[in-house]
Amino acid sequence: METQQMDIDFARAWDNSRGTYASEFAEKLIDFTNQNNIKVKSIMDICCGSSNLLRVFNEKGFTCVGTESRQGMFDYSKENNPNITYVKTENMYDVPGKHKVDLVTCTGDIVNYFETFDNWYTFFKNVEKHLNKKGVFVFDYYTKFKLKDWNETTYTSSEWLDCLTSVKSGLYDKTVINYTYYVNYQNYMIKTRDIVVESYYEDKDIIEALNKCGFKNVQLANKDLVPLSDTEHAERIHVIAMKK
C-alpha cells in the first residue's frame, strides 16, 4: 500500500513539475486542427501520464480517452479527472478497447521506448484501427541525429521533484537514459529510479511504416507543428499523419 501511495505521489510531483510542456502542446494542437479545418471532437492520448494534455482537451469539451501502463500514473489520473475515460494497459504500445476517436496522440518520445521496430509497426497498426475516417495521428520521437551520440548528465530541481539524468549512447541503435528522481513525499525527499532504453530509426523507415499501416500525408514538423525544412539535423520530430 505504501509503495502504491509513493507511486501516486510521484505522479502528482510529475504533474506539478513536468506537465507544462504537454499542456502547452495541447493548446498548439487545438490551434493546428482549427487552422487546418480538421474536425476533432474526440481524442485518445497513449501513455497519458498525469493527463496534462488530456486535461486541456477535456476543459474545452472534447471527449477524452487516456491509456496508461504505469499503475501510479493510472490511479492518479483516474482519481483527479473524473470526466476522462482511462484504460490500463500491459504494454506502452497497446491500444485496447473499442474506442474510435478523431485524434490519437502519443507525446514525450514514448515511441522511442519501444524495443524493436516491429513494436513501432504494431503500434501504428493499433492506432489506425482506433481512428475514425480522416482521423489524425500525432506523435513525436527523438531522432537518430539526437540519440546516436547523446552523452550527457544533467540535474533539474523544482519544489516537487528533482531529477538527475545520465545519458549514454553507442549501444547499437540504442541509448540508455538513467533517471534518478527525488520526490517530495510527505515532507521528506524519497529517491526512485527509472532506467529506459530508447531506440532510434531512420525517418524514411518511419514514414514508410506509417504508409503501410494506412496513413497518408505524413508531415514531419517541429514542436510548434510547423513543417521542418531540415529534418537531417532535427533532434526531435513531431509527426502529423492522416488516416487514408
- Domain-by-domain residue ranges, the chain? 2-142+201-243, 146-198
Instruction: Tell me if residue 221 falls in helix, strand or coil.
Output: strand
Is residue 6 within 8 A of residue 185, CB to CB? The reply is yes
The helix/strand/coil state of 131 is strand
pTM of the model: 0.92
Does residue 208 contact residue 107 with C-beta atoms inside 8 Å? no
pLDDT of residue 205: 97
Fold of 146-198: N-terminal domain of TfIIb (2.20.25)
Q: Give the pLDDT means over successive 10-residue stretches in the chain (244 positions).
A: 65 78 96 97 96 97 96 92 95 84 96 93 95 97 95 92 92 89 78 89 97 96 96 97 94
Name the amino acid, one letter, at 110. Answer: I
- How many angstroms separate the CA atoms of 131 and 143, rounded? 25
Q: Which CATH number fits domain 2-142+201-243: 3.90.226.10, 3.40.50.150, 3.40.50.720, 3.40.640.10?
A: 3.40.50.150
- What pLDDT sits at residue 1? 40
Cell digits for 83?
470526466
